[in-house]
Amino acid sequence: MQYATGMTDFRFTPLTTTLPSSVPFVGPETQERARGGAFDARLGANENVFGPSPKAIQAMAEAGHWMYGDPENFDLRHALAAHHGCTIEHIVVGEGIDGLLGYLVRLFVAQGDAVVTSDGAYPTFNYHVAGFGGTLHKVDYVDDHEDPKALFDKARDVGAKLVYLANPDNPMGTWHDGTTLSHALDNLPDGCLLVLDEAYVECAPKGTAPEISPDDPRVIRLRTFSKAYGMAGARVGYAIGHPDLIVAFNKVRNHFGMNRAAQAGALAALLDTDYTADVLGKIAKARDTIASIAANNGLKAVPSATNFVAIDCGQDGAFAKRVLEALIAQGLFVRMPFAAPQNRCIRISCGTDAQLQLFAKALPIALDAAAKG
């Protein structure tokens, strides 16, 4: 018996039929399968090569994989509340910032609702907005920085429900100090929620995180264990916001969606402050090393407050793409910004000394290859 069916035979929603079914983000494993071998250095996804605290690893091993996780994420939220000086009612834990962004967009965005972000900012946010039928409005970066004034002005112009701002920014690594953002908030239009993505803020200078009350209904802050805490594979993110907003996640979240070992690992990682401090030192040192490698090749590194560095290749996006491909051909997994003019850069995650030596060796070869076209 043969079953032939075109996709339109399934009774998808009208919105579903408009969405692309391609995998939007190509992972390094896909590239490894295509090239027939593992990368020598994995420096493209802003993972933390220094990994999680040994205490987190132990907690994950001992968590009891046969049991579902606590749907309230109580212990982790309790520790996060103490860490941030708020209550557990201010905190929701979810399957990474990606998962939380999906829930957040779902809570707010129906077909045609306006949302604002920067052109070239985090594409997964855009993916979720499109996925719920929202209309995305974009403003430009200014000098490789996201522009709070332009974002909030645009939000007012279009009546946006959500405006996305990452501080520090991905993919550029740039940042605003907290005071600048606090002042910018005065310009946020009524009824527009600021989605403040602070995935990288632990890597940033003191004062980068704005002092915003967790009771401030204008802002929801997103944090993660994927970057400073070295647990990208575990999928643990959290949001801090007004309790009336936080409780609304219970309307849509996958209550038993958290991996139990990940819950335990995140808790242990949070409490191991010495280990985190040590890793942050290694990240800062690696940023300097990447900047030096860029300078040695006559290129400028964009100052970064994250665990990666954007290197300005000094020409256009096509040139940078050739540099990127020549690095990949040499066994280095790296990525680059999507949008012009940021796509004149390549983006290198903070690696170990050995990995950055590979990069130092590969970069001049890649630049030569790119110059030849």
In the complex, minimum distance from the CB of residue 83 to a second copy, in angstroms, rounded to a whole number: 20
> Which range binds a second copy by CB under 8 A, 142-150, 241-249, 304-312, 334-342?
241-249
Q: Per CB under 8 A, which of residues 306..365 are in contact with a second copy?
A: none
In the complex, minimum distance from the CB of residue 18 to a second copy, in angstroms, rounded to a whole number: 9
> Quick one: 124 or 357, whose CB is closer to a second copy?
124
In the complex, minimum distance from the CB of residue 91 to a second copy, in angstroms, rounded to a whole number: 14
Q: Binding string to a second copy for residues 11 to 50, with x set by CB under 8 A, is what? A: xxxxxx--xxxxxxx-x-xx--x--------x--x-xxxx
Among 320, 372, 364, 356, CA closest to 341: 320
In the complex, minimum distance from the CB of residue 155 to a second copy, in angstroms, rounded to a whole number: 12
Q: Per CB under 8 A, which of residues 255..284 are in contact with a second copy?
A: 255-262, 265
Question: What token pair was written down for 327?
Answer: 């690095």
> Quick one: 88 or 323, whose CB is closer to a second copy?
88
> Quick one: 14 or 37, whose CB is closer to a second copy?
14
In the complex, minimum distance from the CB of residue 359 to a second copy, in angstroms, rounded to a whole number: 18
Contacts with a second copy by CB under 8 A: the residue count is 93
In the complex, minimum distance from the CB of residue 67 to a second copy, in angstroms, rounded to a whole number: 5
In the complex, minimum distance from the CB of residue 307 to a second copy, in angstroms, rounded to a whole number: 11
Q: How far apart are CA 14 and CA 17, in angstroms?
A: 5
3-state secondary structure the chain: CCCCCCHHHCCCCHHHHHCCCCCCCCCHHHHHHHHCCCCCEECCCCCCCCCCCHHHHHHHHCCCCCCCCCCCCHHHHHHHHHHHCCCHHHEEEECHHHHHHHHHHHHHCCCCCEEEEECCCCHHHHHHHHHCCCEEEEECCECCECCHHHHHHHHHHHCCCEEEEECCCCCCCCCCCHHHHHHHHHHCCCCCEEEEECCCHHHCCCCCCCCCCCCCCCEEEEEECCCCCCCHHHCCEEEECCHHHHHHHHHCCCCCCCCHHHHHHHHHHHHCHHHHHHHHHHHHHHHHHHHHHHHHCCCEECCCCCCEEEEECCCCHHHHHHHHHHHHHCCEECECCCCCCHHHEEEEECCCHHHHHHHHHHHHHHHHHHHCC
Q: Binding string to a second copy for residues 45 to 84, with x set by CB under 8 A, is what? A: x-xxxxxx---xx--xx-xxxxxxxxxx-x----------
In the complex, minimum distance from the CB of residue 207 to a second copy, in angstroms, rounded to a whole number: 20
Three-state DSSP state, 141: coil
> Quick one: 242 or 344, whose CB is closer to a second copy?
242
Q: Per CB under 8 A, which of residues 144..163 are in contact with a second copy?
A: 161
Q: Per CB under 8 A, which of residues 189..228 are in contact with a second copy?
A: 191, 193, 213, 215-217, 226
In the complex, minimum distance from the CB of residue 57 to a second copy, in angstroms, rounded to a whole number: 7
Q: Binding string to a second copy for residues 79 to 108, with x set by CB under 8 A, is what? A: ----------------xx-xx--x---xxx
Q: Per CB under 8 A, which of residues 160..179 are in contact with a second copy?
A: 161
How many other β-carbons are positioned within 10 Å of the β-carbon of residue 351?
Answer: 24
Q: Per CB under 8 A, which of residues 107..136 are in contact with a second copy?
A: 107-110, 113, 124, 131
> Which range binds a second copy by CB under 8 A, 138-146, 239-247, 292-300, 304-312?
239-247
> Quick one: 15 or 142, whose CB is closer to a second copy?
15
> Quick one: 166 or 313, whose CB is closer to a second copy?
166
> Quick one: 217 or 281, whose CB is closer to a second copy?
217
Asked if 46 and 286 count as a contact pair (C-beta separation under 8 A), the reply is: no
| Identity of the residue numbered 187 | N
Contacts of 111 (CB under 8 A, 6+ apart): 15, 132, 133, 134
> Quick one: 132 or 175, whose CB is closer to a second copy?
132
* DSSP state, residue 142: B
In the complex, minimum distance from the CB of residue 268 to a second copy, in angstroms, rounded to a whole number: 12
